[in-house]
Amino acid sequence: MLDHDTIPAHGGTLVDLTVPDDDVDKLTEEAEHFPKLRVGRRELSDLELLAVGALSPLTGFQPEEEYRSVLGSAQLTNGLPWSIPVTLSLDDDELKRLGRTEAVTLLPQTGSHPLALLEVEGVYKRDRETEAIAVFGTTDLEHPGVRALHDSGDWVLAGPLRVLRLPKHEAFRQYRLTPQQTRQAFRERDWRRVVGFQTRNPVHRAHEYIQKCALEIVDGLLLHPLMGATKSDDVPAEVRMRCYEVLFENYYPKDRAMVGVFPAAMRYAGPKEAIWHAICRKNYGCTHFIVGRDHAGVGNYYGTYDAQRIFEDFDPDQLGIVPLFFEHSFFCLRCEGMASDKTCPHDDESRVVLSGTKVREMLRNGEKPPPEFSRPEVAEILIEAMREGSA
Ligand SMILES: [Zn+2]
């Protein structure tokens, strides 16, 4: 097997919070004696990311000093770039119920089998307004991220984690690769330079083109769809996964591209989330990260290029992953190929451009968008899903 070192994790060491197999029984028994806390869906995603080292160098839910540092200056207290705080919420009742305790046992949403043991480092009040402005740039409750923040508890429980088992997932198991596993996959393929692509949408020709442009200058592509909580009007994960599979089957070289699940929940924090997504992908072993226009955006809260420009505020060496910026792309009938404003001199009439609304309308009517816009295999899956009412 060819072997080489993959890129260092953020902060230098890839974190692994999972307890060694031999200690799981003993610690599970210990966990019985501490107060229990059920973890909500979004925070469960963070717990999973923390456990596998996707949020290296974090080793638990962040304490107040670090929370303040992230909100104030987008860095950890040691100066490393970090743009979105990772916190565990408590409401008043939960806080009272937990009382003074040295540790808390974290439970999944259903069932009583403990997931992790949190050693209590502190409890602090969430500063909603400062957090909303720092992360989302707005306090508007129409913003889905601000809404989720508003609905979370007033208190934050902080401390390092020992993880007994990862949250259970029935779907996409073969794609659920931890950072250690993606790094191993890169080594096995001898990919030294790997570009990560974040998505929460089906991939149409425009994004396929961007991914392949990036792939032209590196060794491999990690298509890394976000599969945690998203907005209810985003296309469901299982439908998206079928789209990725059919694309990979028909249009991607098997030795140059792979799919992995990114178990994060979507925050819709635009620029701040672009930085966070890049750092996470560095932990998965990517050396490059694609940032399109409106990365992680929603509504009209962010400027088109904000998520690209924010990278200027960070020291590239400290960030340690190379962002690749792309324009919207399209098929141009006169260029006879995929292009963007950067590469095509023709006007709109020559370009096959459809709005998201228009595409959804076509698909709902059982109509395939032109093959220049969407691969027919992908369109078929989306039409079928619309028909079944799942997209
Ligand atoms: Zn053109």
Span from the CA of 359 to the centroid of ligand 1 (angstroms): 22
Span from the CA of 289 to the centroid of ligand 1 (angstroms): 26
pLDDT in tens, 247-278: 999 999 999 999 999 999 999 999 999 999 99
- Residue 117 is predicted with a pLDDT of 98
Proportion of the chain above pLDDT 70, given as a percent:
98
Please report which confidence band the pLDDT of residue 390 belongs to, taking 50, 70 and 90 as the band edges. Answer: low
Residue type for position 11: G
Q: How many C-beta atoms surround the C-beta of residue 311 within 10 A?
A: 20
- Residue 119 is predicted with a pLDDT of 98
Q: Among candidates 35, 68, 62, which has minimal Cα distance to 50?
A: 62
- Residue 132 is predicted with a pLDDT of 98
Span from the CA of 209 to the centroid of ligand 1 (angstroms): 15
Span from the CA of 208 to the centroid of ligand 1 (angstroms): 18
Please report which confidence band the pLDDT of residue 228 belongs to, taking 50, 70 and 90 as the band edges. Answer: confident
**Rounded to the nearest 10 degrees, how much is the dihedral formed by the CA atoms of 246, 248, 250, 254?**
-150
Span from the CA of 334 to the centroid of ligand 1 (angstroms): 5
Span from the CA of 346 to the centroid of ligand 1 (angstroms): 4
Span from the CA of 327 to the centroid of ligand 1 (angstroms): 14
Span from the CA of 287 to the centroid of ligand 1 (angstroms): 31
pLDDT in tens, 104-152: 999 999 888 999 999 999 999 999 999 999 999 999 999 999 999 999 9
| DSSP sequence for 319-382 | H-SEEEE---EEEETTTTEEEETTT----GGGEE---HHHHHHHHHTT-PPPTTTS-HHHHHHH
- Residue 3 is predicted with a pLDDT of 52
pLDDT in tens, 336-374: 999 999 999 999 999 999 988 899 999 999 999 999 999
Span from the CA of 385 to the centroid of ligand 1 (angstroms): 33
- Residue 231 is predicted with a pLDDT of 82
Span from the CA of 224 to the centroid of ligand 1 (angstroms): 30
Long-range contacts of 144-149 (CB under 8 A, 24+ apart): 144/231, 144/266, 144/268, 144/298, 145/267, 145/268, 145/269, 145/298, 148/42, 148/267
Return all residues near 202 (Cβ < 8 A) that are at least 6 apart.
235, 239, 240, 243, 244, 378, 381, 382
- Residue 137 is predicted with a pLDDT of 97
pLDDT in tens, 155-214: 999 999 999 999 888 889 999 999 999 999 999 999 999 999 999 999 999 999 999 999
Please report which confidence band the pLDDT of residue 391 belongs to, taking 50, 70 and 90 as the band edges. Answer: low
Return all residues near 336 (Cβ < 8 A) that are at least 6 apart.
none
Span from the CA of 228 to the centroid of ligand 1 (angstroms): 37
Please report which confidence band the pLDDT of residue 295 belongs to, taking 50, 70 and 90 as the band edges. Answer: very high
Point out the residues that are catalytic: 200-201
pLDDT in tens, 15-63: 999 999 999 999 999 999 999 999 999 999 999 999 999 999 999 999 9
